[in-house]
Structure 1
């Protein structure tokens, strides 16, 4: 599994449509970025707690912690991620990036098989990446819980 001090793998994610590729290396180059992964868009814990926490904390995370961007990643298609972000008022606060094949989850070794959600998904995690290097990593012990990876815990280490 990825660990603090590792370089973030270079993986293409998608924003809004399959035509809009966002490479993780380019995304984090020269920036401080919070990336948090969730098991699935529109799922209860992700929709009631995880995403809303980052949306409501975005201004303070960017202001007080000097974060350039906050990114939510899920093993969903880009259209689903876009719709989910709109439903939660993420525009301008949290970028909603799709990892449709689970390439990032696999490269980070945070993939988890959740048959009720369609198979391979991402464990729930959060990380701070600065200039491509993982500076902080919080992976939920059971892969899906809502504790260490929440917005109110990021940057506390």
Structure 2
């Protein structure tokens, strides 16, 4: 059932699982293959059954995911930015890169996770991955619609040059 994630893991490809739309618990068999779980704070609360109102709440919910065997939890926090919780390390926080005008947040979480993955496989540090993803989201929310709002690499790098 989990052939794709098994194959990715066997090939040394990091497995990032975006928890968007998950209403039920994630099967442990799948979590065994996940390198990075990427929920937003609402999804994290739903998956863990824990509150996610404060940063401390979110950290405790991420710790519960660590107990499930997920070593890294990448939490999307909307206008509050993002945080990466790596088991046994201090969390890495990235503030949002604010957009001049927010038109539509559809696809922002997907843009974030995809941009993070791109930066990760390119060998950037986790901090750089978070910043790259924040820039992608900043551009994404300025365009209406999910597909049209996905930024290209050139635009993300140009935005990062200003920050």
TM-score scaled by length of structure 1: 0.26
Structure that is richer in helix per residue: 2
Looking at CA atoms only, which structure, 1 or 2, has the larger radius of gyration?
2
TM-score scaled by length of structure 2: 0.26
Q: Which has the higher contact order (CA 8 A, sep 6+)?
A: 1
